[in-house]
Amino acid sequence: MNKILEFFYKYLSVIIFLVLEILAFLLVVNKNDLQRSVAFRYATTLSAWTYEITNSVTDYFGLAEANKELSEENARLLTENARYRDLMLCSDSSGVSNQLGIVSARESYLSAKVVYNSVYDLQNYIIIDKGSAQGIEEDMGVFTPQGVVGVVQRVSKNYAVVLPIINPEQVISAKIKGNNQLGSVKWNGKTPLKAKLYEIPNHVNVVAGDSIVTSGFSAIFPEDIMIGVVDKATNVENTMYCDIDIALTVDFQSLSYVTVAAFTNKNELLNLQKSLGK
C-alpha cells in the first residue's frame, strides 16, 4: 500500500511539473512579442496545411457554385472590357488611352482560394492559399464578385490570414453610393449576414435599399466594390449619427474563390499620408 502511495506521490509531482511548465510556456508565447510572432508563424502554417487537406475532400461539393461565380466574374470582366474598348475606339484624343494606361498599371488582381473560413466565431478569420511568395502583402483588400470579404492581416510564405468584415477588429472605409457620404463599416458581432455603418450624420437621408460600397480612399480596395445594402436606418435622438444596419452581400458561409487587390503605389500613398502626421 505504501509503495502504491509512494508511486502516486512521485507521479503527482510530474503532473504538477508538466502543468506549470505548460502554463509558463503559454505565458512565453502570449506575453512576449518575439515569441508570439514565431509561434503564430508555425501555427498558421500548420493549421493551413491541415485545413487544406480536409478541404481537398470537401472542395468537390462546392465546384458547381465556384464555376457559377467564375463565369459571373468572367461575364462582368468581358462587359467591362467591351466598355473600355468602346471608349478607346470612340475617342480620337490620346488623353483617354493614357488615362486607361495609368489605371491598369496602378492596381492588379490576384485570384486565391479559401482554405479555411470561420463564420460562427466571434474572432472569425479566413486563410487563403496565396502568400508572400505569390505577391500577397499585408493590408491588401480581398473581395468576390458579390462584394468585400476583408483585408489581409498576416502573410506567411504560401498562405495569408484575412480578417473578414465579420470580425470585430475589422473596420472598412465605405460610402453610400449615390450621395458619396463617407462612413465606416463594422460588424455587429452577431450574425455573419449583418453589419453596421457608422459615422453617417443624422441629416443625411438614408433609406433601406441604398447600396454601401468601398470608398477607394485607403489603397486597400478599389472604389465602388459592393459591401452591403442598407437594411434599416434610424435617427437616434441626442446623437450626431444615424444608426444603420446593413445586410452584407457576400455569403461568408460559402466562400471558395476570392480576388485580392494589389496597389502598386500603395506604399507611396501611405508614406505621403504619414508625412502629414496622420
Question: What is the Cα–Cα distance from 51 to 113, expressed in whole angstroms?
Answer: 12
- Near other proteins by CB under 8 A: residue from 3, 31, 203, 274: 31
Nearer to other proteins, 26 or 87 (CB): 26
| Binders of other proteins in range 36-95 (CB under 8 A) | 38
Q: Are 214 and 223 in contact (CB under 8 A)?
A: yes
Q: Which of 6, 7, 8, 20 is the binder for other proteins (CB under 8 A)?
A: 20
Which residues fall within 8 angstroms of residue 67, CB to CB, at 6 or more apart? Answer: none
**Nearest-10 Cα torsion for 184, 77, 106, 177:** -30
What's the closest the beta carbon of residue 2 comes to other proteins, in angstroms?
16
Q: Which is nearer to other proteins, 16 or 53 (CB)?
A: 16
Q: How far is the CB of 42 from other proteins (least distance, A)?
A: 11
Piece of the chain touching other proteins by CB under 8 A; list 14-22, 171-179, 189-197, 258-266:
14-22
C-alpha to C-alpha distance for 82 and 31, rounded to whole angstroms? 55
Nearer to other proteins, 22 or 75 (CB): 22
- Residue 30 makes contact with other proteins by CB under 8 A: yes
At 38, list the grid cell: 514565431
Alpha-carbon Rg for the chain in angstroms: 24
3-state helix, strand, coil in the chain (%, to 5): 40, 30, 30
Closer CB to other proteins, 17 or 49, in the complex: 17
How big is the CA angle at 163 (ends 131 and 78), to the nearest 5 degrees? 70
- Asked whether position 7 contacts other proteins by CB under 8 A, the answer is no
**What are the residues binding other proteins (CB under 8 A)?**
9-10, 12-14, 16-17, 20-21, 23-32, 34-35, 38
